Structure 1
């Protein structure tokens, strides 16, 4: 287990995994290592495309203190994740309906002072509570950037982890740090590239990372699986500024088609 995780956390991890076995709800944690790679945009648009296929989706904005998912969905949330963990509202009250059918959001809160909850592992409990409802097909957890204790909480309880990165050298450095950490405890990491020119670029870099991991003798049983890329598109930045989803506004855009292909592969690999 990650070194910082307590016995209490380990119990929650096991409990959550058991709940996933008996519930129809599958959990996917989306992370990045470095901020600014488009992870939240990726998450929101994935949620829409999954919902358009008939899946009922819940998103948890787990970017503790720097949340922005409500901006992407053009919402002003009445309640946030912190209202729930502080016992002010019920699980049903914190699961907010979005403007898109079959997508619910547990909103975060930017600038929140969370030091009182440090190392108490309270944040990830909401995942277990949503899975216990057995109402959603997929829960998407949008983590914050970096590898702080709060990100580790959400990574620890998920068997399905998707990393979103770019070809920026600092982003790749952070990605490799994520790979090293996860290789100690997980079976695989799914990997997507954002803002790339073509599929082959992501594939080439993924193979380089895998070879580096082998050279440094990381866990041989750990698999990095490249599942696709999304090309740079002016439509993505434009819709983001307008608080809209590019996959909804531009259904025939190459970026939307590429994200659809990623989802095809994702659904074949998610446990």
Structure 2
């Protein structure tokens, strides 16, 4: 693996319904527009959300790579804006139940493409299952998507609590989604901050807010990414601002970049936790 530093970002959100996949897909496109080579991994291993959202029909998935039938490069599907997608294996066994052979395969798979990307975005599953935990604790940056609903804030808090107490994740980026005003975004962040500050030893950083936008639903109906179909929509404009912030986050300083470390952490948990 070359000396490229790769930014590994996990997008998560506690339970479903907060628009997490939508955020992942559109953030991937906004980063690609800035000239970054982006790979988006659909890590919701039971439901292939990204494929569905982009109307893609992949012939092979990550499961085929782990079975040794093909390389990760063979599985990557090129999406809009030149982003490349690692499709989820619908109904495949959980990543966390991999044996030693598959673990080695996963490390090899990502090592093969390490020189070809700048950002690895991971769209995690909804909830706080094992696979979510393993992807998030292995990533370098964790983006928690929340919206202005009590359940969303409760779920995000439960996820942050679990990751910080049991898995040593101490820094979280918070993104408010589907807000009706910038103030609402700040309010959502502050609610989460208040409970976290009181009970947890974590640092929460506010990334910004994405507005509620009718165009998101329209794009979804057409199985296209909002950023691709409606580049001048409120959502797309806000996403550009967020992408510029994300792009300015510090890169890993280790000479071998973060990708190898990410995979090592991802496969480490068997027997440790």
TM-score with structure 1 length normalisation?
0.83
Pick one of 203, 207, 218 that aligns with 1:223: 203
Q: 2:173 matched to which residue of 1? A: 190
Question: 1:215–1:25: structure 2 CA closer, same or farther, 3 Å change rule?
Answer: closer
Q: Deviations over 1:3-60 (max 9, x none)?
A: xxxxxxxxxxxxxxxx89x432211111111112111111111111111111111011
Pick one of 32, 37, 40 that aligns with 1:56: 37
Q: Higher relative CO (CA 8 A, sep ≥ 6), structure 1 or 2?
A: 2
Q: 2:20 matched to which residue of 1? A: 39
Pick one of 193, 200, 221 that aligns with 2:183: 200
Tell me how far apart the structure 2 counterparts of residues 54 and 124 of structure 1 sit (CA, whole Å): 31
Q: Is 2:196 the partner of 1:213? A: yes
Tell me how far 1:238 sits from its aligned partner: 0.5
TM-score with structure 2 length normalisation?
0.83
Matches within 5 A, 1:106-145: 106-110=86-90, 112-114=91-93, 118=97, 126=106, 129-130=109-110, 133-145=114-126
Tell me how far 1:117 sits from its aligned partner: 5.9
Question: 1:255–1:84: structure 2 CA closer, same or farther, 3 Å change rule?
Answer: same
Tell me how far apart the structure 2 counterparts of residues 115 and 159 of structure 1 sit (CA, whole Å): 21
Count of matched residue positions in the alignment of Structure 1 and Structure 2: 247
Tell me how far 1:74 sits from its aligned partner: 1.7
Alpha-carbon RMSD: 2.4
Tell me how far apart the structure 2 counterparts of residues 65 and 200 of structure 1 sit (CA, whole Å): 36
Tell me how far apart the structure 1 counterparts of residues 95 and 20 of structure 2 sit (CA, whole Å): 27
* Residues 160 and 270, structure 1, Cα contact 8 Å, conserved in 2: no
Tell me how far apart the structure 1 counterparts of residues 96 and 232 of structure 2 sit (CA, whole Å): 44
Q: Deviations over 1:180-205 (max 9, x none)?
A: 12334123101111111112212122
Tell me how far apart the structure 1 counterparts of residues 40 and 107 of structure 2 sit (CA, whole Å): 10
Structure 1: gaps (5+ residues): 1-18
Q: Is 2:146 the partner of 1:165? A: yes
